[in-house]
Structure 1
Amino acid sequence: MPPSTTVSVLVPAAGQGTRLGRGPKAFVRVGGRTLLEWVLEAFAWADEVRVALPPEAEPPAAPANVRFLEGGEERQESVARLLQGARGDVVLVHDAARPFVVPAVVDRLLQAVAAGGAAVPVVPVPDTLIEPEEGRYGPALDRGRYALVQTPQAFFRELLAEAHQLARARGLLATDEAQLVRALGYPVELVPGDRRMFKVTFPEDLALAEALARTWDRRPV
């Protein structure tokens, strides 16, 4: 990526964490820090970080490159609000529920987005994958044909803005930005992700996050 390229990080953190059951997920603590604090530390190098919080949330103390906005009811709406006013040539959209960001993955994303305009990290599906049938074991799927998508996801800012504009016009609702960019007919490159960048979703994920937090500062890059 050219040295002059600027990067905005967009963090939708307005979710209520219903499946986790601990209140707004961004403020759940792991290893002595909130999930959001882990994310802000990971992206301290960015030109700007824009965070969407729940309407009732009090913005925490943060570095000068961080700005807080009120999020929407859906993740997609929060990202659209964050995108308005973002200044970076490239935007990274990252889930606040993924506290552990591996620098090597971010480097791969930035290289890929510079070449193609859109890139996301993925990891292979490790388990047997089935399609359940009325609560019973169903047909096994070829797990080699599938991948698990992670964040951050990287895009040229103008490309992502166009994708959100199309989504509003067509009433499209997606669970990540790559789906919206793909709806434009624009290719999204895949780069190798990292299993340490898992999403804290269920209560048992907190135990894994606590264990990883204890050794994270000694992680390999």
Structure 2
Amino acid sequence: MPGVKVSVLLPAAGSGERIGRGPKAFLEVGGKTLLDWALEGFAWADELVVALPPGRNLDVPGIKTVWGGKTRQQSVFNLVQAATGEVVLVHDVARPFVVRAAVERLLDAVRGSGAATLAVPVPDTLVQEASGEYGAVIPREHYRLVQTPQGFRRELLWNAHQKALAEGLEFTDDAQLVRWQGYPVALVEGDRRMFKITYPEDLLLAEGLAQVWSSSPRPR
């Protein structure tokens, strides 16, 4: 984003309860932690800020760190407070593989609208559960799976976080928080390689992609 300072914010304080192997950011795939993969993917950014769990340190030159909160939203609050960029990208470390072309599309959208998130179409048939049975089919063309990073003008996101804190409200992601404030959030074409590691079997998929990522030029 020419002429605009970009800060990438990485909340890495999650406990990783669904995988059950400690803080997710410090799990390894392909010989590197998920946090290491994410830091490499955003090495081009003007500023990198990481929220760490209590007792963890990150001895990486040039990386700014803050303490994480009890929830993701509290961690992002701390990250936005510490950021100095005019534009901030909030990215889940659980999505370790960063596709630069998708991020550039996101930055273009933020430049035009002030708030945007990556998203991909729903590939599977989508149904409503009815007491454990196959219910009504939901038209999947009207739905998207939200990815990160999500991008915002820093002041817009900071104001939204302050208001949510004042009202005691929690949101699942920052795009939802900004939209709650009445500000539109653009949907930008994402990339399926930027999938989220949530369950133990996702680590197997990540190991396979890590091998490809390490043996070929980084996808653009």
Query: Considering the TM-score relative to the shorter chain, is it more than 0.5?
Result: yes
SS of residue paired to 1:139? strand
SS of residue paired to 1:107? helix
How many percent identity over aligned positions?
A: 62
Match for residue 43 of structure 2?
44
RMSD of the TM alignment (CA)?
A: 1.1
* Structure 2 unaligned residues grouped into runs of 5+: none
| C-alpha displacement of 1:46 | 1.1
* Structure 1 unaligned residues grouped into runs of 5+: none
SS of residue paired to 1:36? helix
Kept in 1, the 8 Å contact 2:100–2:219? The answer is no
Among 158, 177, 180, the residue aligned to 2:177: 180
What is the TM-score with the length of structure 1 in the denominator?
A: 0.95
Match for residue 142 of structure 1?
139
Judging by fraction of residues, say which structure has more strand. Answer: 2
| Structure 1 stretches of at least 4 aligned residues deviating more than 3 Å after TM superposition | none
Does 2:152 match 1:189?
no
Match for residue 17 of structure 1?
16
| C-alpha displacement of 1:134 | 2.2
Mapped to 2, the partners of 1:152 and 1:104 lie a distance apart of 12
Match for residue 95 of structure 1?
92
SS of residue paired to 2:152? strand
Match for residue 35 of structure 1?
34
SS of residue paired to 2:130? coil
Mapped to 2, the partners of 1:101 and 1:62 lie a distance apart of 19
Mapped to 2, the partners of 1:78 and 1:185 lie a distance apart of 23
Amino acid across the alignment from 1:70: W
SS of residue paired to 1:197? coil
Kept in 1, the 8 Å contact 2:118–2:188? The answer is yes
String of CA shifts for 1:2-34, please: whole Å, max 9, x gaps: x22001111111110011111100000000000
Amino acid across the alignment from 1:60: L
String of CA shifts for 1:30-89, please: whole Å, max 9, x gaps: 0000000000111111111111111122x233231x112110010000000111121000
Count how many residue pairs are aligned between Structure 1 and Structure 2. Answer: 218
What is the TM-score with the length of structure 2 in the denominator?
A: 0.96
1:88-167 superposed matches below 5 A: 88-167=85-164
